Structure 1
Amino acid sequence: MTYLLTNASALTALQSLTMTQQSLANTQSQLSTGLSIQHASDNTSYWSISQTMSSDNGALGAVSSALKQSSSMLATFTSAIEQTISVVNNIKNDLVAAQNPGANLTQIQSDIAAQQNSLLQIAGGSAFNGQNWLNGTVNGSTAGFQSSVNLVGAYTNSGGVSYISVTASAASLYTNGSAATSVASASGGILGATSAGYSSAILGGQAINVTGATGANVSNLTNMVASVNNTITQLETAAATIGSAQEQLTTQQTFISAMQTNLTNGVASLVDADMNQVSTRLQALQTQQQLGVQSLSIANQSSQMILKLFQ
């Protein structure tokens, strides 16, 4: 049956063509953006999950940057401690040489004083971003010295930030920070503490002095060597403490990198478009569009057949 005012075939062809054009527009958008889900309206569940995962991935990026910064800071402290051990070994060598009969104690003491100044400079110059655990300075203030420091180590959406705790005081060569402007003014810490058997420290007001270790006092040299050996042991422990923290940071960096890769792949699997499928679909829809236009043209021509009834 044919109607003059209503062309059912044309309406059906138009509806089909409209749907094809909508699909074609969506496919072209996926082709240009590379995303199959761009907005919440495309797929509410997948879009929401991908947003959370992307947010977490961004937080992990901040954790990764913090880990790199902390690793560089600890590397600075490690280098300083290793150099400190080398200098303290030089002082130990001087103390051993001082026990040789006829040794020039004045010259030996002069060399020890030079080594002590080097220790002060090493500790004072080992600052990284306002942190200097070696001289008891945190954020540029001796008042801010902490026995332990929490370094950002990880992040989860449910648990928030977690930390790697490091005993900063274990690496402290002396504890009065920038206030120690000379060998005599340094106090506390590994180098400023006195040891059993001898009342003087390597640094501080009672710093070791070999010039008076003669005659009845010559046994003090043996005590000084014992004190220095004790200091070296403490420095090795400090290096081990920092080294252990560095190992944790390295492990976390590897883990965080893997997590970022997993999250990136997870987001891609949810919202990224498969370009092979998109390109194939685009060609099919373009062909379907052309056929739809022809179908609509044919349907529109059917109304003109009514005219032949009146000829």
Structure 2
Amino acid sequence: MALNSVNTNVGAMAALQTLNGTNTELGIVQGRINTGKKVGTAKDNGAIWAIAENQSAISNSLNAVRDSLQRGQSTIDVGLAAGDTVVDLLNKMKEKALAAADTSLTSSARATLAADFGSLRDQITKAVSNASFGGANIVDGTVSSMAFLSNDSGDAFTVTAKDLSLSGLSIAASASFTTASEALTMIGTVTTALSDATDKLASLGTNSAGLDAHLTFVGKLQDSLDAGVGNLVDADLAKESARLTALQTKQQLGVQALSIANSSTSTVLGLFR
């Protein structure tokens, strides 16, 4: 038999516990909707939160890897641009030397060709020395290789540098000619340098393609990590919205139930009338 007491209202206590539980669930759902996450702190789910934080740390560190690889791309692109200029200048130098090898030319005409040849030669030095990006030059012969970040562990993606300077192409800094025979010899020198330059550019281009491919991979890896973290911690807002509506209704019913339970003790007053 139920006890009629003004000191202890079991029905009110039960209704209050239910209402408090609903309010707690409602707070959790509102928090998920506000943050967009079902696991926002270690309190929500310690194991999932730890996994997500570790994967997020890796993804964030890959930003530095991407920056390094993109810097490498730019450095190589500038070097390749300089290399194209060097090849073009060598072709023009060969043309001048070939013209000067004509024995029917006068000395003054050959001297003019030699002056043009020297100007072209000096332009190679200028093109190579100016082919730097952020202070790094991969074609001036000052370094043998360059290392860029390849992963979040700090491992290196190494690119072999190519020397496209005059000395790297076996051309003397004062290379020229005064006679037809010297011009003929210079044709061979420039032809060899031209072949060497194109081989070096081809190798540099291969390295550049490898760098591009690795950068693409890093971007995809980062996207996959971000998607994985999202699967672990992101809230399904459509589901949470539906749950919010249900809990709000449940909350209103809980308030009504508590109100009814609280009013039940007032019936005891009727016994004293």
1:304 matched to 2:271: no
TM-superposed deviation, 1:135: 2.4
Output aligned runs, 1:1-311, within 5 Å. Answer: 1-2=2-3, 3-103=5-105, 104-136=109-141, 145-155=142-152, 160-168=153-161, 171-174=162-165, 188-190=167-169, 193=170, 201=171, 203-204=172-173, 207-211=174-178, 213-214=179-180, 218=181, 220-311=182-273
In the alignment, the residues of structure 1 paired with residue 160 and residue 227 of structure 2 have an alpha-carbon distance, to the nearest angstrom, of: 37
Which residue identity lines up with residue 125 of structure 1 in the other structure? N
Partners of 2:186 and 2:76 lie apart in 1 by 30
Q: CA deviation at 1:269?
A: 0.7
| 3-state secondary structure, aligned to 1:165 | strand
- Aligned residues: percent identity? 29
**CA separation in 2, counterparts of 1:107 and 1:231?**
23
Q: Shift in Å at residue 147 of structure 1? A: 1.7
Compute the displacement of 1:8 (Å).
0.6
1:198-224 residue CA offsets vs partner (Å, 9 max, x unmatched): xxx2x42xx32221x24xxx2x43332
Following the alignment from structure 1 to structure 2, what is the Cα–Cα distance between the partners of residues 36 and 23? Answer: 12
Tell me which moved more, 300-309 or 17-26: 300-309
Conservation of the 8 A alpha-carbon contact between 1:153 and 1:249: no
Cα distance in structure 2, aligned partners of 1:290 and 1:27? 16
Report the alpha carbon displacement of residue 148 of structure 1 after superposing the two structures with TM: 1.9
Q: Gaps spanning 5+ residues in structure 2: where?
A: none
Q: Which one has more relative contact order, counting CA pairs under 8 Å at least 6 apart?
A: 2
Contact kept, 8 Å, 2:75 with 2:138, in 1: the verdict is: no
Amino acid in the other structure paired with 2:158: S
Spell out, residue by residue over 1:139-189, the C-alpha distance to the aligned partner (whole angstroms, 9 max, x if none). xxxxxx33222122233xxxx122221221xx2133xxxxxxxxxxxx732
1:167 counterpart letter in structure 2: T
Q: 2:120 is matched by which residue type in structure 1? A: Q
SS of the residue 1:273 aligns to: coil
Amino acid at match of 1:102: S
In structure 1, list runs of 5 or more residues that go unmatched. Answer: 137-144, 175-186, 194-200
How far apart in 2 are the matches of 1:40 and 1:101? 87
What amino acid is aligned across from residue 208 of structure 1 in structure 2?
Answer: A
Q: CA deviation at 1:93?
A: 0.6
1:102 positional shift: 2.1
Q: Distance in 2 between matches of 1:93 and 1:146?
A: 31
Q: Which residue of 2 aligns with 1:140?
A: none
Alpha-carbon distance between aligned partners in 1 of 2:139 and 2:144, rounded to the nearest angstrom: 12
| Partner Cα distance (2:201, 2:260) in 1 | 87
| TM-score, length-scaled by structure 1 | 0.83
Q: How many residues align?
A: 268
What is the TM-score of this pair, normalised by structure 2? 0.94
SS state at 1:134 partner: coil
8 Å CA contact 2:118, 2:175 repeated in 1: no
Measure the CA separation in 2 of the matches of 1:282 and 1:40. 23
In structure 2, C-alpha distance between the alignment counterparts of 1:62 and 1:134, rounded to whole Å: 25
